[in-house]
Structure 1
Amino acid sequence: MGSVVFLLRTEADAEDPFAAVLHAAGYQPFVLGVQEVVWVDPEQLQRVLAHPEAYGGLILTSPRAVEAVRRLGQLLEAWRTHPVYAVGPRTAEAARALGLRPCGQESGTGINLAHFILTQPRPKRPLLFLCGARRSEELPVLLRQQGIPLEECVVYDTRPIIPDVPTAAPLPDWVVLFSPSAWESARQLSLDWSRVRIAAIGPTTAQALRQQQVRVDAVAAKPTPEGLLQALSAVSV
């Protein structure tokens, strides 16, 4: 049998695309929900989205930010003509489901998306950045340093929960962390961490984990199922 991989996701999903790709490659993936999403001030988000004319575009760096918008109902048509910048294929796919036309999804990380935005026509009005309470500083700092007007709106937060490991799950060879905060839940698992390899879903997550003194054995170059598979395959267990 292939290596056992625990995927520490915000929420467990039976149709997780990362699990599907790893399973097809011979791994034994198990998806564990490690965070509870808390929606922050939807009334404020509703007020902001009611005035698309005040903004020069929209920045979305996670599917949860898109979900916060979806939960409010129909978007004003004017948003569909605005530039929309999204990190990663899942965020872009969720944005397209709302009728938006995202670009920049190949950037893979927030900092790379910021560099992509800097190659686009400079907005005359602020870009609206819908983010989580624990978002990285890299994207907003770089854009502001380059004179790009930016308004942030926190739309969700996450709280760690103890992962519910399936009874049939063997001890893992790999634990994959999809965010720095996932480590808060991971370390509550009864594992001998000297025998378990740790993978990060991208360079930004890896950097934040290392700042917490967490050993990272593999880093996905892009936050995609294929990127994760390549990272795991490059490291022998």
Structure 2
Amino acid sequence: MKVLLLKDPKDRDSGPDPYIQELGLYGFEAALIPVLSFEFVSLQTFFEKLSHPDSYEGLIFTSPRAVEAAKLCLGENSKNEAWRNSLQEKWNTKSAYVVGKATASLVEEIGLAPQGEKCGNAEKLAGYICASMQKSFN
């Protein structure tokens, strides 16, 4: 039986798409159709904000795309050097909250220590962040 799978294709470097694999185990032949396109905007503004960690209490990464945006910001040589030489260390004195394990893994790749990965959704993460902030102020 054939099915249409309407989603972003998985990155080729990370192996076969898990949906296609799982559907195949049940006898389905999935045709993957990418239905969305994505464009990052405000990367310069994002880097300007990342350049001033003292102005913020922490970071909240709501998706792997948010981390991808950070990686793009830091991809240029001069910006990457600034990140490695001082900004990463300053941000590591603050909290970097994430929704989910995939996002946590990507946050680790840019040298930050993620928190809240087991929350699983925005509502639970918000509660986790509020509880963490209350502890730090008491």
Q: TM-score range by the shorter chain?
A: 0.7 to 0.9
Match of 2:111 in 1: 99
Quick one: percent identity of the two aligned structures? Answer: 30
Closer, same or farther in 2 for the Cα pair 1:111/1:4, shift >3 Å?
Answer: farther
How much has 1:27 moved relative to structure 2?
A: 5.6
In the alignment, structure 1 residue 12 sits paired with structure 2 residue 9: yes
TM-score, structure 1 normalization: 0.45
Higher relative contact order (CA 8 A, sep 6+): 1
Q: Is the 8 A contact 2:44 2:73 kept in 1?
A: no
Q: Which has the higher helix share?
A: 2
Question: How many residues align structurally?
Answer: 121
Match of 1:181 in 2: none
How much has 1:115 moved relative to structure 2?
A: 1.2
Closer, same or farther in 2 for the Cα pair 1:20/1:102, shift >3 Å?
Answer: farther
Residue 132 of structure 2 aligns to a residue in which SS?
A: coil
In the alignment, structure 1 residue 22 sits paired with structure 2 residue 25: no
Any idea what the Cα deviations from partners look like across 1:92-138, whole Å, max 9, x if unmatched?
111111011111111111111111112213477xxxxxxxxxxxxxx
Determine the C-alpha separation between the residues in 2 that align with 1:105 and 1:4: 35
- The runs of at least 4 consecutive aligned structure 1 residues that moved more than 6 Å come to none
How much has 1:39 moved relative to structure 2?
A: 1.1
Question: Amino acid of the residue matched to residue 102 of structure 2?
Answer: R
Question: Amino acid of the residue matched to residue 37 of structure 1?
Answer: F
How much has 1:8 moved relative to structure 2?
A: 2.9
Q: Is the 8 A contact 2:5 2:31 kept in 1?
A: yes
Determine the C-alpha separation between the residues in 2 that align with 1:70 and 1:30: 30
Q: Is the 8 A contact 1:16 1:31 kept in 2?
A: no
Determine the C-alpha separation between the residues in 1 that align with 2:132 and 2:3: 39
Match of 2:33 in 1: 32
Over the aligned positions, Cα root-mean-square deviation in angstroms equals 2.4
Q: Which runs of 5+ in 1 are unaligned?
A: 125-237
Determine the C-alpha separation between the residues in 2 that align with 1:52 and 1:63: 21
Residue 105 of structure 1 aligns to a residue in which SS?
A: coil
Q: Which runs of 5+ in 2 are unaligned?
A: 75-79
In the alignment, structure 1 residue 65 sits paired with structure 2 residue 66: yes
Determine the C-alpha separation between the residues in 1 that align with 2:27 and 2:114: 32
Residue 112 of structure 2 aligns to a residue in which SS?
A: coil
Q: Which has the higher strand share?
A: 1
Residue 59 of structure 2 aligns to a residue in which SS?
A: strand
TM-score, structure 2 normalization: 0.73
Any idea what the Cα deviations from partners look like across 1:2-54, whole Å, max 9, x if unmatched?
x7554433x31243553366258546444432211111111111110100011
Determine the C-alpha separation between the residues in 2 that align with 1:53 and 1:19: 42
Residue 35 of structure 1 aligns to a residue in which SS?
A: coil
Match of 2:77 in 1: none
